[in-house]
């Protein structure tokens, strides 16, 4: 009895272990990076279902509860997801909100510039955004940006949960090394198809194109806010007919009807690019698998049959 009482007294006198913060992430790629850093500590919650577009979304009650319960929210940023900015403010005003891509006004005010070399001018290429702002919002398609985000996630979690700092540090370092190897592998995959013409459905791949020095001839839909125009589609069709385009890519979230129209009667091929990794199991492996799949799908369609 004495020993039992002494043991209970010792337990009561010990300082309580700090609780791991409840973490949520907006989309699959961000969730994957957060899961990589938190591996062995906890599993972050995913706010959006895999197939949902981050550009605009009506929150379901379960998704609203995920935000409400979160103490830390990692998300792309207000320019891509203004609806989520509002939701975090309303449902989790005390949560630590980490926007990985700054608002355009903050970005310009800070004088931020990426480290990519200037690529081919896209002016007049099927309505592509000359200022690459839309591509900036899809920055996760550059694995070197993913590396930087791993550091941001690590720094945030270490500050909020120092007891697990060693794990966060080790996981982030391993994730960075993994993405360096992936970058080198993608370089090898896309090297044989540089210069071959392709069209994307949604103008979201600029970060990937700039990193790996490949350039789309145009996009069917310049942005979520700009539906395809008859003139833009006609211009792209002329390029396909002129054999300037080898492959036209669709996406899981969009109808393939316009793609079929572009390639009808030509030798151009089509394939599906998935910038959100909607068909990949969620978790730490989604992000590298997404980028690897993207590169392999592009190369496979662009290589001569």
pLDDT band at 55, cuts 50/70/90? Answer: confident
Predicted confidence at residue 258, as pLDDT, reads 85
Predicted confidence at residue 207, as pLDDT, reads 96
Is the residue at 11 inside a domain? no
Task: Flag whether pLDDT at 266 surpasses 70.
Answer: yes
Predicted confidence at residue 227, as pLDDT, reads 77
Six token digits for residue 175:
């994730």
116 DSSP 8-state letter: P
Same domain for 269 and 231:
yes
Six token digits for residue 192:
């044989």
Predicted confidence at residue 209, as pLDDT, reads 96
Q: What is the CATH number of the domain that holds 60?
A: 3.40.50.1980
CA–CA distance, 4 with 298 (Å, rounded to integer): 66
Which among 163, 184, 205 is the end of a domain?
184
Same domain for 142 and 35:
yes
Same domain for 157 and 34:
yes
Q: How many domains does the chain have?
A: 2
Is the residue at 47 inside a domain? yes
**DSSP count for the chain of H helices, then E strands:** 12, 8
CA–CA distance, 152 with 171 (Å, rounded to integer): 13
Same domain for 180 and 32:
yes
Same domain for 168 and 142:
yes
Identify the CA nearest to 57 among candidates 78, 26, 83: 83
Secondary structure of the chain: what % helix, strand, coil (to 5)? Answer: 50, 10, 40
Tens digits of per-residue pLDDT, 172-229?
A: 999 999 999 999 999 999 999 999 999 999 889 999 999 999 999 999 987 766 778 8
Is the residue at 132 inside a domain? yes
CA–CA distance, 80 with 140 (Å, rounded to integer): 12
Same domain for 223 and 124:
no
Identify the CA nearest to 186 among candidates 37, 38, 48, 289: 289
Predicted confidence at residue 261, as pLDDT, reads 87
Q: For residues 172 and 276, is the Cβ–Cβ distance under 8 A?
A: no
Which among 184, 200, 216 is the end of a domain?
184
Same domain for 68 and 25:
yes
Strands (E), 110-228: 198-202, 218-221
The parent domain of residue 135 ranges over: 19-107+119-184
Is the residue at 237 inside a domain? yes
Specify the pTM: 0.86
Is the residue at 25 inside a domain? yes
Q: Give the range among 53-62, 113-122, 229-238 with minimum mean pLDDT.
A: 113-122
Predicted confidence at residue 289, as pLDDT, reads 98
Q: For residues 74 and 24, is the Cβ–Cβ distance under 8 A?
A: yes
Is the residue at 56 inside a domain? yes
Predicted confidence at residue 44, as pLDDT, reads 98
Is the residue at 233 inside a domain? yes
Predicted confidence at residue 16, as pLDDT, reads 41
Q: Give the range among 104-113, 214-223, 256-265 with minimum mean pLDDT.
A: 104-113
DSSP 14-73: SPPPPPPPPEEESSHHHHHHHHHHHTTT--PEE-S-TT--TTS----HHHHHHHHH-SEE
Same domain for 30 and 142:
yes
Is the residue at 39 inside a domain? yes
Q: For residues 141 and 204, is the Cβ–Cβ distance under 8 A?
A: yes
Same domain for 297 and 248:
yes
Task: Flag whether pLDDT at 18 surpasses 80.
Answer: no
Q: What is the mean pLDDT of residues 298-305?
A: 86
Which among 149, 184, 219 is the end of a domain?
184
Same domain for 197 and 128:
no
More confident of the two residues 228 and 150:
150
Same domain for 269 and 219:
yes
Q: Give the range among 12-26, 158-172, 280-294 with minimum mean pLDDT.
A: 12-26
Same domain for 292 and 214:
yes
pLDDT band at 87, cuts 50/70/90? Answer: very high
């Amino acid at each position: 009895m004495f020993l039992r009482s002494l043991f209970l007294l010792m337990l009561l006198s010990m300082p309580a272990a700090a609780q791991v913060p409840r973490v949520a992430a907006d989309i699959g790629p961000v969730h994957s990076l957060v899961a990589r850093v938190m591996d062995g500590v906890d599993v972050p919650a995913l706010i959006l279902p895999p197939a949902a577009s981050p550009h605009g979304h009506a929150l379901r009650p379960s998704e609203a509860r995920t935000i409400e319960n979160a103490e830390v929210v990692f998300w792309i940023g207000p320019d891509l997801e203004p609806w989520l900015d509002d939701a975090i403010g309303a449902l989790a005003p005390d949560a630590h909100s980490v926007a990985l891509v700054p608002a355009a006004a903050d970005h310009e005010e800070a004088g931020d510039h990426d480290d990519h070399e200037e690529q081919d001018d896209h002016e007049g290429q099927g309505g592509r955004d000359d200022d690459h702002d839309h591509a900036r919002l899809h920055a996760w398609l550059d694995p070197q940006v993913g590396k930087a985000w791993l550091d941001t996630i690590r720094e945030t979690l270490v500050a909020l949960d120092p007891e697990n700092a060693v794990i966060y540090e080790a996981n982030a370092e391993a994730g960075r090394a993994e993405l360096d190897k992936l970058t080198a592998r993608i370089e090898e995959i896309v090297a044989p198809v540089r210069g071959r013409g392709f069209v994307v459905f949604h103008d979201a791949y600029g970060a990937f194109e700039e990193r790996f020095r490949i350039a789309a001839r145009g996009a069917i839909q310049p942005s979520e806010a700009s539906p395809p125009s008859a003139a833009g589609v006609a211009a792209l069709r002329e390029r396909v007919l002129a054999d300037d385009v080898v492959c036209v890519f669709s996406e899981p979230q969009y109808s393939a009807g316009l793609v079929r129209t572009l390639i009808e009667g030509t030798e151009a091929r089509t394939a599906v690019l998935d910038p959100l990794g909607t068909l990949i199991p969620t978790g730490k492996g989604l992000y590298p698998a997404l980028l690897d799949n993207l590169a392999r799908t592009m190369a496979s369609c662009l290589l001569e049959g």
